[in-house]
Amino acid sequence: MANVKLRRIEERRLKTGHQWIFSNEIQEVEGNPENGSLVNIYYSNGQYLGTGFYNKHSLFAIRILDKRPIPDLRTMFVERIFAALGLREKVYPNRKSYRMVFSESDFLPGLIIDKYNDTYVLQVNTVGMEKNLDIIVDILHRNLGAENVFTRNSPYFRQLEGLEFTDEIFIGNDDVQKIDDGKVKYRVNFQDGQKTGFYFDQCDNRNFTGELAEGLTVLDAFCNSGGFGLHCAYNNAESVDFVDSSVVEIQHAEVNFNHNVFACEANFIVAEVFEYLKNCADEGKRYDMIIIDPPAFAKQKKNIIPAKQGYQKLNRSALRLINNGGYLITSSCSFHITKEEFLDIIKEAAYKEEKVLQLIRYSGASLDHPIIPSMPETSYLKFCAFRVFDLKQEDPS
Ligand code: SAH
């Protein structure tokens, strides 16, 4: 195994559990390690740091796996996959579908495994993981009884790592899976869905949102396969309007709605949300609850300013349409925008719209997306549930 010596760097980051070593932090590579192979890592003073996967083609030159040597990779994978599964079984004892492995958060940098009953959908974002896919698939098959295993890779992350963009079915097929989140049932279509097929990160927040929705008129904007609105319907909302710009996702939302038995009225609308909100304002349409869950506006640092403007405009447009005493349920999945910045954006939007807000819940992603405090990159989702009061109107009863 090759040895890699680091420059004199800020060691605190690595000593507290950050898992990335950048290419400019490397002093010397002894030998010629293959991409994706294990290397021994040493601090500049010669002290042993640990073991990681090496990639000379990436800015992320090493992904640290352990503070100790790793004598057997298969054993390491078995232990970590089962530790990750154990956590999910503990926090979601009644569910069979969740994010089972969340990359760095489960000490498997670059590997995401979403479990849909006995179907396992992988996102492989590092060369080290790609090189060990046979072992990973074999563990899912032999140790967990997987019936279907395939990838739904992200071109963006693979390109950063110098990996080709391909997808593969290793076992079984990628047919529709019927899952549930404990309350709502979904038919997940992997062939034309987004990401691995379902956004598990909002599961706990959908549950909370649904519990507020009885008797309300709801807009689920950026609904994707309908998770938020379906929870509102489950909790007897009066009506839910599902809006997404993707025809395919609106079809998924409708399929999911019909797959459950709800008494609530529902409309499935293909529209661009900014335009939809503007049209509602022009027509005088109002809602008791508006849910906003857009894609990341700031995927990169350089987009922060326009992203903030986008969030502000979106939330202002939503606030304008919310009945006095109603709810604004708003999220941002932009890692580059902090919790404080996001709250400030909403505060400013409320000021401009002459509304007073009452924050009733702030949270992040669901429990199957644990956070490593020394790796802020593992925490990205910001979720806020506000009650909205109109300064110009009577107090709601
Ligand atoms: N709320 C969803 C996840 C939202 S993902 C859930 O709980 O599962 C973001 C969604 O926004 C995607 O489905 C995407 O198709 C949609 N989208 C992106 N830009 C949009 C726009 N400008 N107008 C409407 N929908 C948009």
Please tell me the distance from the alpha carbon of residue 58 to that of residue 56, in angstroms, as a whole number: 6
Among the atoms of ligand 1, which is closest to the Cα of residue 198? 8
Please tell me the distance from the alpha carbon of residue 59 to that of residue 78, in angstroms, as a whole number: 28
Co-location of 189 and 61 in the same domain: no
**CATH number, domain containing residue 228:** 3.40.50.150
Co-location of 199 and 228 in the same domain: yes
291 close to ligand 1 (CB < 6 Angstrom)? no
Examine the fold and report which residue of 175, 194, 219 is the final residue of a domain before the chain moves on.
175
Q: How far is the CA of 25 from the centre of ligand 1 (A)?
A: 38
Residue nearest to atom 15 of ligand 1 (CA): 246
Asked if residue 397 is part of any domain, the answer here is: no
The tens digit of pLDDT for each residue in 71-85 reads 999 999 999 999 999
Residue 54, strand partner residues = 62
The confidence score (pLDDT) of residue 157 equals 87
Among the atoms of ligand 1, which is closest to the Cα of residue 271? 24
Q: Is the pLDDT of residue 96 over 80?
A: yes
Q: How confident is the model at residue 301 (pLDDT cuts 50, 70, 90)?
A: confident
Examine the fold and report which residue of 159, 175, 191 is the final residue of a domain before the chain moves on.
175
Q: Choose the residue to mutate in 186, 232, 245 for probing ligand 1, maximizing ligand atoms within 8 Å of C-beta.
A: 245
Co-location of 92 and 43 in the same domain: no
Q: Is the pLDDT of residue 3 over 70?
A: yes
Q: How many residues does the chain have?
A: 397
Domain that holds residue 114: 73-175
Co-location of 83 and 105 in the same domain: yes
Asked if residue 108 is part of any domain, the answer here is: yes
Mean pLDDT of the chain: 96
Asked if residue 381 is part of any domain, the answer here is: yes
Instruction: Report the SS3 class of residue 330.
Output: strand
Residue pair 221/318 in contact (Cβ under 8 Å)? The answer is yes
Asked if residue 395 is part of any domain, the answer here is: no
Co-location of 59 and 96 in the same domain: no
Q: How far is the CA of 182 from the centre of ligand 1 (A)?
A: 23
Examine the fold and report which residue of 128, 152, 175 is the final residue of a domain before the chain moves on.
175
The confidence score (pLDDT) of residue 299 equals 83
Q: Is the pLDDT of residue 61 over 70?
A: yes
Q: Is the pLDDT of residue 168 over 80?
A: yes
383 close to ligand 1 (CB < 6 Angstrom)? no
228 close to ligand 1 (CB < 6 Angstrom)? yes
Half-sphere exposure of 142 (CA within 13 A, CB side): 8
Please tell me the distance from the alpha carbon of residue 114 to that of residue 123, in angstroms, as a whole number: 8
Residues 6 or more apart whose CB falls under 8 angstroms from that of 58 comprise 23, 126, 127, 160, 161, 162
293 close to ligand 1 (CB < 6 Angstrom)? yes
> CB count, 10 Å around CB of 88?
22
Among the atoms of ligand 1, which is closest to the Cα of residue 275? 23
Instruction: Report the SS3 class of residue 180.
Output: strand
315 close to ligand 1 (CB < 6 Angstrom)? no
Asked if residue 185 is part of any domain, the answer here is: yes
Residue pair 335/380 in contact (Cβ under 8 Å)? The answer is yes
Q: Which of 314, 320, 328, 331 is nearest to 390 (CA)?
A: 320
Q: Choose the residue to mutate in 97, 244, 252, 273 for probing ligand 1, maximizing ligand atoms within 8 Å of C-beta.
A: 244
240 close to ligand 1 (CB < 6 Angstrom)? no
Three-point CA angle 274, 276, 282, nearest 5°: 105
Co-location of 381 and 242 in the same domain: yes
Q: Choose the residue to mutate in 189, 201, 224 for probing ligand 1, maximizing ligand atoms within 8 Å of C-beta.
A: 224
Q: Is the pLDDT of residue 12 over 90?
A: no
Co-location of 53 and 150 in the same domain: no
Among the atoms of ligand 1, which is closest to the Cα of residue 220? 1
Among the atoms of ligand 1, which is closest to the Cα of residue 249? 13
199 close to ligand 1 (CB < 6 Angstrom)? yes
Q: What is the mean pLDDT of residues 280-296?
A: 98
Asked if residue 220 is part of any domain, the answer here is: yes
Please tell me the distance from the alpha carbon of residue 375 to that of residue 257, in angstroms, as a whole number: 38
Q: How far is the CA of 285 from the centre of ligand 1 (A)?
A: 21
Instruction: Report the SS3 class of residue 65.
Output: strand
Co-location of 295 and 169 in the same domain: no
201 close to ligand 1 (CB < 6 Angstrom)? no
222 close to ligand 1 (CB < 6 Angstrom)? yes
Number of structural domains the chain divides into: 3
Q: How far is the CA of 44 from the centre of ligand 1 (A)?
A: 46
DSSP for 235-252?
TT-SEEEEEES-HHHHHH
The tens digit of pLDDT for each residue in 209-219 reads 999 999 999 99
Residue nearest to atom 12 of ligand 1 (CA): 224
Co-location of 170 and 186 in the same domain: no
**Model pTM?**
0.96
100 close to ligand 1 (CB < 6 Angstrom)? no
Co-location of 27 and 98 in the same domain: no
Co-location of 251 and 375 in the same domain: yes
Q: Is the pLDDT of residue 396 over 80?
A: no
Asked if residue 365 is part of any domain, the answer here is: yes
The tens digit of pLDDT for each residue in 318-366 reads 999 999 999 999 999 999 999 999 999 999 999 999 999 999 999 999 9
292 close to ligand 1 (CB < 6 Angstrom)? no
Region at 37 (left for phi over 0; alpha for psi -120 to 50; beta for the rest): beta
* Residue that is written with structure tokens 């949270």 in the block: 363
Q: Is the pLDDT of residue 258 over 70?
A: yes
DSSP for 333-377?
--TTS-HHHHHHHHHHHHHHTTEEEEEEEEE-S-TTS---TT-GG
The confidence score (pLDDT) of residue 257 equals 98
Q: How confident is the model at residue 397 (pLDDT cuts 50, 70, 90)?
A: low
**In terms of C-beta density within 10 A (0-12 exposed, 13-18 middle, 19 or more buried), how is residue 239 classed?**
middle
Helices 304-320/273-283 angle, 10° precision: 30
**CATH number, domain containing residue 77:** 3.30.750.80
Co-location of 266 and 286 in the same domain: yes
Please report the sign of the dihedral spanned by the C-alpha atoms of residue 219, residue 216, residue 187, residue 145: positive
Asked if residue 197 is part of any domain, the answer here is: yes
55 close to ligand 1 (CB < 6 Angstrom)? no
Q: What percent of the chain has pLDDT over 70?
A: 99
The tens digit of pLDDT for each residue in 113-164 reads 999 999 999 999 999 999 999 999 999 999 999 999 999 999 988 998 999 9
> HEC profile for 97-157?
EEEEEEHHHHCCCCEEEEEECCEEEEEECCHHHHHCHHHHHHHHHHCCCCCEEEECCCHHH
The confidence score (pLDDT) of residue 7 equals 93
